[in-house]
Each structure stands twice: as C-alpha cells, then as structure tokens.
C-alpha cells in the first residue's frame, strides 16, 4: 500500500488518516484501516448462516441436497400447523358434522362461537355471487328472503351446497328453465305481460296467457305460479326475483331459457363447514331460531 503514484499520500486533517495517493479528477481515498466491526458483522452473519445450513435443507450435492439435521419439510410443517389449527376448532366445529341442525341451532353458546367463522366463509366463498349481505343480484338469488328454489331448511341448503345446482358435479341438482322460443311472438309477449303482473296479483286469470301458462309453465312453477315444488323453479308470485320479472327480462327468459349455476362446494369445504354455512344461510332470512326455543 505504500507504493505511491500521482501524488504522495497526504494526511487528511479531519480523520487523521493518510490518503492512498490516488487522485481521480480530484477524488482521493483514505487509507483508513479496515473497520473491525465489519469483520465481526461478517463473522456473525456467517455463523448465523452456518447454523441455518446445518439445521435446514441447504446445499445441493450432486443429484441430491443436504437435508439439515432438523429434517424439516415445508409441506409437512404447513400441514401440521393446519392440523393444529383444525384441532383447535374441532371442539366446536366437529359438532357441525355429527349433530342435528336443530340441536346445533338451539345451542346459543355454540352459535356465538361459530357464526363469525360462518360469516368469513360466506364472505370468501359466497358473497361474490349472493352479495355481502346475501341480497343477491342479477342472476344470483337473494338468500336473506323467504323465497327458496329448493328449500330453506338447513338440511336442504346443505344438500344444495354439497352438490350445487347445474354444477359440474355428478350429483348436482338439476334445474333448467327451457327456452320457449318456439311460441309465437305474440304469445310470448302476452305471457311476459302476464308473468310480470303475477307478483302484484293483477294478472288476468281469464286471459289467453293464463291458459298458456297453465299449459306450459305450471308443471314446474305450480298452477298459480307460486312455485314451492322444490324442483328448482322459483315462485313467480312472491316478488323475489333472480333475473327480473319485468316484461323485457321475462321475454329474455322465455326466448333463451335459463340455467343458473350454483357451484358445488363438497370438494372445497369440509362437511362441517358446509353444515355451518347451511345454518348461517337459513338464519339469514330472519326466522332465526330463538335460543332455547
């Protein structure tokens, strides 16, 4: 380091160290001794690394790698933690797998524990279609009313959740509103008018459209259109709508038919979670079972 060139090393008045003698366009460097703390920091971080390498999978060796003496596997660790979490909640959650809905609903303490979990499950899985507040939206039924396609009892709901409706699942519930595009245009308009008047009760029961309805629709929607046949066809009289019951929307329905899809959840949610959700959904319509009832 003593070999000078350009300029002779000079002593820097501020630090007291000498310069190296280099000079690049006026830039000099001090020949400050190597700070010990940097060495120590290097040693420290190296020791940290060394420990990690010994304990954990770390270095590739040929077609294999060192496993570390802890023998850790990130997948197994995650599964173990998940299992621990699940054990933490089995105490209350597993009851949803084994007990009757009525008993579960009647247990106020249990419901208080479970409903926040149900709400989170609903928000992450169902709210996208049925809305945060379960009020539904165009194409997706409300779940907070008393109008059901298949039924609002927890066990029916649980079945719906398991298999879905028109879902790619072998046992799915099947519900199709056929297209009536073969009807005369005038017949379709008349039907549309008729159906859109059903909720107000102002539909003319003697109109030709009423005959058309009885001939074509009542098989699924019931004689008066009140539904309730548990075949997936909604009531057309209760004011609750999926797609809309104004004449234009009904025309669309008649022309193209409908086949709403509700996904099946059996592969994604556990049995207990599905039952939990079923109770949550059943309670949404407000006829909450009062504790102790």
> What residues line the site for ligand HEC (CB under 6 A)?
125-126, 128-130, 140-141, 143, 148-151, 157, 160-161, 165, 175-178, 180, 191, 195, 216-217, 219-221, 232-234, 236, 241-245, 250, 253, 258-263, 265, 277, 281
As measured in angstroms, the least distance from the Cβ of 223 to ligand HEC is 12
The count of chain residues that interact with other proteins, using the rule CB under 8 A, is 89
Cα 93 to Cα 41, 126, 174: the distances in Å are 50, 19, 30
Least Cα distance to 72 among 57, 83, 62 occurs for 57
The entry of other proteins, ligand HEC, none near residue 117 (CB within 5 to 8 angstroms by kind) is other proteins
| Alpha-carbon dihedral 41, 42, 47, 52, rounded to 10 degrees | 100
Q: Is 87 exposed, middle or buried (0-12, 13-18, 19+ CB in 10 A)?
A: exposed
Which of other proteins, ligand HEC, none does residue 221 bind to, with CB < 5 to 8 Å depending on kind?
ligand HEC
The binder of 6, among ligand HEC, other proteins, none, by C-beta within 5 to 8 A per type, is: other proteins
Site for other proteins in 67-106 (CB under 8 A): 68, 72-75, 77-79, 81-86, 88-89, 92-93, 97
Which one, of 262, 242, 263, lies nearest residue 253 by Cα?
242
Range 230-289, binding other proteins (CB under 8 A): 260-264, 267-268, 270-272
Integer Cα distance of 39 and 121 in angstroms: 53
Structure tokens at 257: 């038919």
Q: Which does 22 bind (CB under 5 to 8 A by kind): ligand HEC, other proteins, none?
A: other proteins
Work out whether 29 is an interface residue with other proteins (CB under 8 A). Answer: yes
Q: Residue 256's CB: how many other CB atoms inside 10 A? A: 13
From other proteins, ligand HEC, none, which one binds at residue 77 (CB under 5 to 8 Å depending on kind)?
other proteins
Window of 56-64, 177-185, 216-224, 280-288 that interacts with other proteins by CB under 8 A: 56-64
Please give the helix or strand (H or E) that residue 162 lies within, else none: helix 154-163
Phi and psi at 39, nearest 5°, equal -60, -45
Could you say which of other proteins, ligand HEC, none residue 217 binds, taking C-beta under 5 to 8 angstroms by partner kind? ligand HEC
Q: Which one among 8, 60, 69, 201 touches other proteins, defined by CB under 8 A?
A: 60
How many whole angstroms separate alpha carbon 155 and alpha carbon 158?
5
């Amino acid at each position: 380091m003593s070999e000078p060139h350009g300029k002779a090393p000079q002593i820097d008045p501020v630090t007291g160290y000498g310069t190296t003698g280099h000079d690049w366009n006026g830039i000099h460097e001090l020949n400050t001794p190597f700070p010990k703390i940097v060495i120590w920091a290097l040693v420290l971080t190296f020791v940290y690394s060394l420990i990690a390498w010994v304990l954990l999978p770390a270095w590739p060796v040929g077609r294999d790698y060192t496993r570390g003496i802890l023998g850790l596997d990130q997948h197994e660790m995650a599964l173990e933690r998940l299992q621990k979490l699940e054990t933490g909640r089995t105490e209350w959650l597993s009851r949803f797998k084994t007990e009757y809905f009525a008993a579960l609903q009647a247990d106020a303490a249990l419901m208080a524990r479970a409903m926040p979990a149900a709400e989170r499950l609903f928000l992450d899985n169902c709210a996208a279609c049925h809305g945060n507040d379960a009020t539904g939206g165009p194409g997706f039924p409300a779940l907070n009313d008393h109008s059901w396609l298949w039924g609002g009892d927890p066990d029916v709901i649980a079945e719906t959740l398991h298999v879905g409706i028109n879902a790619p699942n072998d046992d799915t519930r099947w519900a199709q509103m056929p297209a009536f595009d073969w009807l005369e245009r005038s017949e379709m308009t008349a039907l549309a008018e008729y159906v859109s008047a059903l909720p107000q009760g102002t539909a003319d029961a003697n109109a030709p459209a009423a005959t058309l309805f009885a001939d074509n629709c009542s098989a699924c929607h019931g004689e008066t259109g009140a539904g309730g046949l548990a075949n997936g066809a909604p009531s057309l009289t209760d004011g609750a709508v999926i797609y809309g019951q104004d004449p234009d929307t009904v025309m669309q329905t008649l022309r193209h038919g409908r086949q709403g899809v509700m996904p099946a959840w059996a592969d994604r949610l556990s049995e207990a979670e599905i039952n939990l959700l079923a109770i949550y959904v059943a309670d949404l319509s407000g006829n909450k079972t009062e504790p102790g009832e």
